[in-house]
Each structure stands twice: as C-alpha cells, then as structure tokens.
Amino acid sequence: IIICDLYSASVGIVVDSVNSVLTLKTSDISPRPEIQYHEGSDYITGVAKKGKSLIVLLDIVKVLNFEDRIIIEKNQPNKKTG
C-alpha cells in the first residue's frame, strides 16, 4: 500500500509491488516526452533516468478515475472556518 496525500486527506493505494523508493533531484527529471496522444496519457508528468533504468513519473490525481475522486472528496473531514 502506498500512502498519498490527496485533497487534504491521506489515501492508501494498493499496488502489486514496489521495487524501490527513490529520491530524485529536480535536475534528474525531464519533461514528459512528446508521444502520440493516447487518451489518459496526460497522467505522465515526466521521466527520469537512474542508472540504466527509466522511471516514469505519474500525477496520481490524474490516474484516479472520476468516481475515485468523488469518494475521496466526500470522505474528507469537514473543514471549519473560523
């Protein structure tokens, strides 16, 4: 399970596996490559190289479908204004 902070809430996302956890420098990250448009490919925010590995960076909010976003927003704690 990967814990992400989304919409002021912590959300656990179940994944098949995690190979490693990396810290990347901004200089290691390249912009999203110009690829032939594919519906939903806008969730790729950039790429990085670490050794011989190519790492694809994702915008987790864009990976979630609309129904997932609604559920997360509905389950946020109520914000009280002062």
| Rounded Cα–Cα distance for residues 82 and 37 (Å) | 46
Cβ(48)–Cβ(29) below 8 Å:
yes
Which residue shows structure tokens 């997932």? 68
| Rounded Cα–Cα distance for residues 15 and 41 (Å) | 19
β-bridge pairing 44-50 and 53-58: antiparallel
| Rounded Cα–Cα distance for residues 22 and 6 (Å) | 20
Dump pLDDT digits (tens) for 8-17.
Answer: 778 888 889 9
The DSSP code for 14 is: -
Q: Look at residue 48 in the predicted model and tell me its pLDDT.
A: 92
Mean pLDDT for 25-39 is 78
Dump pLDDT digits (tens) for 40-71.
Answer: 678 888 899 888 888 989 888 887 777 777 77
The answer to whether the pTM exceeds 0.75 is: no
